[in-house]
Structure 1
Amino acid sequence: MGDKMTPMPFSQLMNWVRQEQGKQESVFGVYRPYRADESHNRELFGRTLETPIGPAAGPHTQLAQNIVAAYYAGSRFFELKTVQILDGDDLPVEKPCIRAEDECYNCEWSTELYVPQAQEEYIKAWFLLSFMAKEYGLGQMDGFQFNMSVGYDLEGIKSPKVNSFIDSMMDAKDTETFHSCRQYLLEHVEQFEYVTKEDIESISSRICNSVTLSTLHGCPPQEIERIAVYLIEEKGLNTFIKCNPTLLGYEFARNTLDQMGYDYISFGEFHFLDDLQYEDAIPMLKRLMALANNRRLEFGVKLTNTFPVDVKNKELPSQEMYMSGKSLFPLSMALAARLSREFDGALRISFSGGADYHNIKDITDAGIWPVTVATTLLKPGGYQRLLQMAEKTRETGVSFQGVDADKALTLAQDSISDSHYKKALKLLPDRKMKKTVPLLDCYTAPCQEACPIHQDITTYLKLSGQGNYEEAMEVIAEKNPLPFITGSICAHNCMNMCTRNHYESPVNIRGAKLLCAEKGYEEYRKTIQKGELSGKKTAIIGGGPAGLSAAYFLTKCGMPATILEKSGKLGGVVQNIIPDFRISGDVIGHDIDLCLSYGAEVRLNTEITDLAALKEEGFEFIILAAGASEPGILNLKTGETMNALHFLHEYKETDKNVNIGKAVAVIGGGNTAMDTARAAVRTNGVKEVSLVYRRTKRYMPADEEELLLAMQDGVKFMELLSPAELVNGQLICNVMKLAAADESGRRAVTETEETVSIPADTVIAAVGEGIPKEFYIKNGIELTSRGRVLVNEETLETSVPGVYAVGDGLYGPGTVVEAIRDARMAAESILGRKAARDFDITSSDPKKLYGRRGILKETLSEQEENTRCLGCKSICENCAEVCPNRANLALFVPGFTKHQILHVDYLCNECGNCRSFCPYDSAPYLDKFTLFANEADLNNSKNQGFAVTDRKNGTFLLKYMGSLYTGKAGEAVDAVPEGLLKIVETVINDYDYLLG
């Protein structure tokens, strides 16, 4: 069917709800229901409203099952997907149409169904919610409200199609759908536990008594007013008018977004000029408010419509897209504050524009409700996020006393600097594993996959949370002999990949590791028993992280190793270069002791220049861990620069007494540049430190936390500057400008004719170090055309047999954890076996893990971080959670310990949202095993999947690896994996409601 979703009959929806709720106590993948408390009921439009929140007119109110899922999680106000005269196949929607990784963008507008189909979906949902309220004890059968959304002009709204929709939603008693739903419930009433015949007959046919008017950008104010008057006078509807952020004016919007880091978002001024103007809006709203009052109806505004911006980097397949989410919140709230002040709080405001758990209490406390959401539901946790929001609204008053303009203004102003809304300084990291999602058992821990040494993160997090630090240290030390160093300064790719990034912030994995080291190290060290070392000897050149780790893995496995270090102490760059404000020497000492605890020999002040001599001494294997020892050089037209590592070494050796003058300029944008600048700030005599980089902060390679620390230390960031020459204490720089972004999102720079001068007594270049090429060449080691060591990628053995290269000396400056990875690879090659075990004692209790899904919780203490871990290795299901239509399902399949993901083709409109949050470099709606409604749909798709051809006999047609197979449930099919056949059999036997 491609991107065409098929509505389910009411009977199928009822079977699905009842079977899933009966077996799993979940409904459409929502595992924890919200149960209303009458003491928190509100009144709106003369009707009861159990919570003031719900889904906005968008992907979450397009199909009946979407509305049901939202209700089960806590929604009670539903702004139905907009209907208009252009519908169905006539509606042009480019696909994919949603991107919600951070702030959200979409290029959809009204329902993709035909208007009569949309009407049927809403009536079916009305009955389903009424039934569920009583049957499952969720609240009153009339404790929720549906709000129509119609557009986009008066002619279309008056058309027979849309007019009939409005009339039918106001009173559905004469519709076939209303009668068929009612009749189905009556015919099955004996199967229900709590719903009675009287309950069914009491379900009101008056579904909607309110409407939200949505008009296109550029709609004249006279047209907006005419439509509103029609809806109030002719239809007698409580009416909200959806307003645009453009009312704030171009300069306000541009300045606000720029302040918050959204300077890359492009939009023209024409929308602000064409849309409704503030000076026209106020008198119009006052007239409509008076009209509604005279008719004893309620009138208000819906804030806000999504914000139109330009497609610049192929975000979506359209020329223009609509922004929503956290970047829209300060604009929407600023408009709310302004209108509230204008109307002395009397104007009712329905809010939508970046509302979520973090702000829902403050929004409703300001008297702004109902509140509808979309972006937060498009992220992992999905509909389940509504439960936490609904519970939060219980903390505020329930009666409408007007909007508090001061509170709204405070919310708007505070949001500009609030980390929940600001854009991160850096580009978002790529959170995709470079793998295709498998058809079966796709559950994986992204944190562990991202870790170069595949640390058993979820295991030691669990042990840490239990206070079992010694046992946690055993897990950590199995693969990581430098827990203090990596617990302090690791680049933490694991945290970059953590699914909690899509909630609020990653689990503090690095901090938890350091806690385990601090609390478990001493006891763990007592358990280490040094065995006898035997076998062939290995010489390790270099006593930094890579060399220490290699010695650890070799001696731990019983093979002798000798570290040959040219300086007088071990620790390499970490010991000699990284400033003590990053990591203390005592901490480094603990890791050195651990690495030597199995008996490695150490020779300090020993420089090796000839590998042949080591062979003659009896070393059969040599590991080169000498680091990237060739200093990086920045050549200026005039003047000299100091090497960053040389400066940092002097800084530590002289206790901050390096003679570099009062003004210092640091060139570079990586972590070493940040260390250098921060050390320079602390150097005695220095008054001013500037950090110069060719691009902006967003494109600096340094970790964001290092950037922030440098900024806190007072380092002046001089962006878009390229150093040219140092003359008389002034660094002359060419001014650069950003060019268009490439496919990766990185923007090139071009030089302008402008120059600027920066005070600089000393210029320090942090431009990267090089590998010791001369040493390699002298010892007969082959280099690649790029000047790197030629190695076997699986063993890291060089062109000289028995000689291995690891760490910074192999690929250039890297991270400590990458050095550990290399060391273990080389050690395992020498040992001829694995040097570390895998641990997996993560929780497999689904109820416990599902209890964490959809719950936003800020970073806690390191000991409690385990409670924030989502247990992705046992339960991921991001694709199921973020799908508005429930087109990705988690099935319990006998024979598997974990749920299996099934994609349901007929429910999918290919919005693409699941692609954004699948940890694999895949799109589940294209790449997961798929259930098709019929043989024709299967043949028209490239997806691997199946269609049941005879439910009674259990026969099916299955597509796998490009071939078609016929089969029968419970029987083997040659060339088709048993697991896929198990999924087919399970659908037929246990999930028959999927088959209609």
Structure 2
Amino acid sequence: MGKATGFLEYKRIDPKKRAPEERIQDWREIKLPRDPEVMKTQGARCMNCGVPFCNGGVMLNGMVSGCPLHNLIPDWNELIYKGQWEEAYRRLSRTSPFSEFTSRVCPAPCEGACTEGYIMEPVTINCIEYEIIEKAFAEGWVKPQKGKSTGKTVAVVGSGPAGLSAANYLNAVGHEVTVYERADRPGGLLMYGIPNMKLEKNIVERRINLMKESGINFVLNTEVGKDIPAQDLVNQYDAVVLCIGATKARGLNVEGCELKGVHYAVDFLKANTKRLLDSNFAHLETMDEKDGQGNGWINAQGKNVIIIGGGDTGTDCIATSIRYGCKSVHQFEIMPEPPVKRIEAANPWPEWPKKLKVDYGQEEAISLYGKDPRHYLINTKKIVGNEQGEAKEIHTVEVRWIKDSSGRMVPQEVPGSKKVWEADLVLLAMGFLGPEDAIPNELNLERDERSNLKAEYEEFETNVEKVFAAGDARRGQSLVVWALQEGKLAAREVDKYLMGRSGIR
């Protein structure tokens, strides 16, 4: 422990962010750098618990508690307090392959399980991780890694967080790794699913370039199962790792869902990020409905935007719409509003705290429009269009949750609560149903009851010889940090398969 009484002497200081009225004018990251002295005192707050729940990574009541990567959090908190930044990076990188991603986009289940959080504010673990990895890049401590060649070849399908993690570890132990990506840039949802202000794309490119320097080959604009048969990879490589994500978006089964202006949220985010990158962040007024490469994009400028669904994706849609100058933005959630504080009886520590969170997108909407854009206990009944087949309004009804005859909670409409909302752009952020079908169908891969690729956790091998699966494609839509852990563990099992044993831990 760096300082035995640190948690009593120092209060939690959250990272500062650029003011909403400033940051909505651009696409740059919203976080501001921290003073090293502040980081020292924040590291000193770590109690070095006898049982550090922060690095547990266990499932409690269907939610993760602690870090799935099992990061050695108390170790690097103490090292930061002592000013030993390089050693802190060494400890962090033992378990976390890409801390520059998790420190920006992870909801920090480690902080939700922090022992201090039981009686006071938890340690700023996420912020400390961010400062460690950024200092490591600035000081040149992060270098390409390549193990002695084994002569074995591995194809990784998908370059999202699970694919990048698997490729990183397989390459580090000496296998020749080729990553196949159907998009024009590697990174998967890190590149196109998360907006630039939350994860700047030069940060993704910085890591990809290091991976290329280490010998990993990226094949872009190539959709396995369409442009090339999946069976060709099985025939050509010694092992194949499927990290294809759970990209089959959940739709909305109501009248009018086929109207122009109704889009899946992931398509909206991808199209707009691609437009920004292809145009080198050109100002909106210089663009028409085509980006610099002639690809269509989804413009929210001057429109009444309604987002159906919550979570991080919904928040990202709010922030993106605001930056394009939408006329208004609302977010519908069918569930009740979470409590302001954790309800201990129903949601005890160290479970992930179910409480109201005002994220960056909501902050910006409140600053711009004077109120939170979220509306709870609301259900969409239909979308109505104009004569041109374009969405113009949404009809909703309020609901309350009651128990049915079997004891399940179901939504019941509230009489007299119908409402009509103006809506030129409707974005569906309702989650995902599993991986797309092309590759699983071609290879006759077994699926589980949720349509995910069937492969046991910590084994990761499918029913097809030498074909492995990891990440959202295997476990369903989940956190980036889980994808990184699955990629690492899948790489370990592939290494065992190829070599009989593995040094990956």
User: How high is the TM-score relative to the length of structure 2?
Assistant: 0.72
CA–CA separation in structure 1 for the residues paired with 2:112 and 2:148: 41
Q: What's the offset of the Cα at 1:751?
A: 1.9
CA–CA separation in structure 2 for the residues paired with 1:530 and 1:560: 10
CA–CA separation in structure 2 for the residues paired with 1:444 and 1:595: 35
| Count of residue pairs the alignment pairs up | 397
SS of alignment partner, residue 256 of structure 2:
coil
Note if 1:687 corresponds to 2:349: no
Aligned to 1:712: 363
Aligned to 1:795: 459
SS of alignment partner, residue 155 of structure 2:
strand
CA–CA separation in structure 2 for the residues paired with 1:580 and 1:529: 27
Q: What's the offset of the Cα at 1:693?
A: 0.9
What is the 5 A alignment of 1:562-577? 562-577=178-193
Contact 2:339 2:354 in 1 (8 A): no
SS of alignment partner, residue 383 of structure 2:
strand
Structure showing greater relative contact order (alpha-carbon pairs closer than 8 Å, 6 or more residues apart): 2
Instruction: Give the counterpart letter for 1:447 in structure 2.
Output: C
| Distance of aligned partners of 1:567 and 1:699 in 2 relative to their CA distance in 1, 3 Å threshold | farther
The counterpart of 1:549, out of the listed 161, 165, 170, is 165
Instruction: Give the counterpart letter for 1:751 in structure 2.
Output: E
The one-character-per-residue Cα deviations of 1:369-393 (angstroms, maximum 9, x if unpaired) are xxxxxxxxxxxx9xxx8x99xxxxx
Q: What's the offset of the Cα at 1:544?
A: 1.3
Q: CA RMSD in A?
A: 3.0
What is the 5 A alignment of 1:319-468? 443-449=50-56, 450-468=66-84
Aligned to 1:650: 271
Aligned to 1:725: 382
What is the 5 A alignment of 1:90-169? none
The counterpart of 1:735, out of the listed 398, 413, 420, is 398
The counterpart of 1:514, out of the listed 127, 130, 134, is 130
Contact 1:552 1:596 in 2 (8 A): no
The counterpart of 1:763, out of the listed 413, 418, 426, is 426
Note if 1:696 corresponds to 2:336: yes
Q: What's the offset of the Cα at 1:493?
A: 0.9
Contact 1:668 1:767 in 2 (8 A): yes
The counterpart of 1:494, out of the listed 106, 110, 135, is 110
SS of alignment partner, residue 713 of structure 1:
helix
| Distance of aligned partners of 1:594 and 1:476 in 2 relative to their CA distance in 1, 3 Å threshold | farther
The one-character-per-residue Cα deviations of 1:867-915 (angstroms, maximum 9, x if unpaired) are xxxxxxxxxxxxxxxxxxxxxxxxxxxxxxxxxxxxxxxxxxxxxxxxx
The one-character-per-residue Cα deviations of 1:955-984 (angstroms, maximum 9, x if unpaired) are xxxxxxxxxxxxxxxxxxxxxxxxxxxxxx
The one-character-per-residue Cα deviations of 1:914-967 (angstroms, maximum 9, x if unpaired) are xxxxxxxxxxxxxxxxxxxxxxxxxxxxxxxxxxxxxxxxxxxxxxxxxxxxxx
CA–CA separation in structure 2 for the residues paired with 1:510 and 1:604: 32
Q: What's the offset of the Cα at 1:648?
A: 0.7
What is the 5 A alignment of 1:575-594? 575-594=191-210
Aligned to 1:675: 316
CA–CA separation in structure 2 for the residues paired with 1:807 and 1:550: 10
Note if 1:830 corresponds to 2:481: no
Aligned to 1:821: 485
CA–CA separation in structure 2 for the residues paired with 1:652 and 1:478: 32
Contact 2:265 2:429 in 1 (8 A): yes
Note if 1:662 corresponds to 2:313: no
Aligned to 1:43: none
Aligned to 1:963: none
Q: Identity of paired residues, percent?
A: 26
Contact 1:545 1:820 in 2 (8 A): yes
Instruction: Give the counterpart letter for 1:771 in structure 2.
Output: P
Aligned to 1:749: 411
Q: What's the offset of the Cα at 1:739?
A: 3.5
Instruction: Give the counterpart letter for 1:642 in structure 2.
Output: H
SS of alignment partner, residue 654 of structure 1:
helix
Instruction: Give the counterpart letter for 2:269 in structure 1.
Output: L
Q: What's the offset of the Cα at 1:546?
A: 0.9
Where structure 2 has 5 or more consecutive residues not aligned to the other structure, the ranges are 11-48, 57-65, 277-283, 288-297, 341-351, 366-371, 386-391
Considering fraction of residues, name the structure with more helix.
Answer: 1
CA–CA separation in structure 1 for the residues paired with 2:192 and 2:467: 26
Contact 1:671 1:702 in 2 (8 A): no
Contact 2:89 2:136 in 1 (8 A): yes
Contact 2:305 2:329 in 1 (8 A): yes
| Distance of aligned partners of 1:699 and 1:571 in 2 relative to their CA distance in 1, 3 Å threshold | farther
Q: What's the offset of the Cα at 1:748?
A: 5.0
Note if 1:634 corresponds to 2:298: no
The one-character-per-residue Cα deviations of 1:316-366 (angstroms, maximum 9, x if unpaired) are xxxxxxxxxxxxxxxxxxxxxxxxxxxxxxxxxxxxxxxxxxxxxxxxxxx
Structure number with greater Rg is 1
Instruction: Give the counterpart letter for 2:255 in structure 1.
Output: K
Contact 1:542 1:565 in 2 (8 A): yes
Aligned to 1:807: 471
The one-character-per-residue Cα deviations of 1:676-720 (angstroms, maximum 9, x if unpaired) are 122112223x11000011123318999868634233211521221
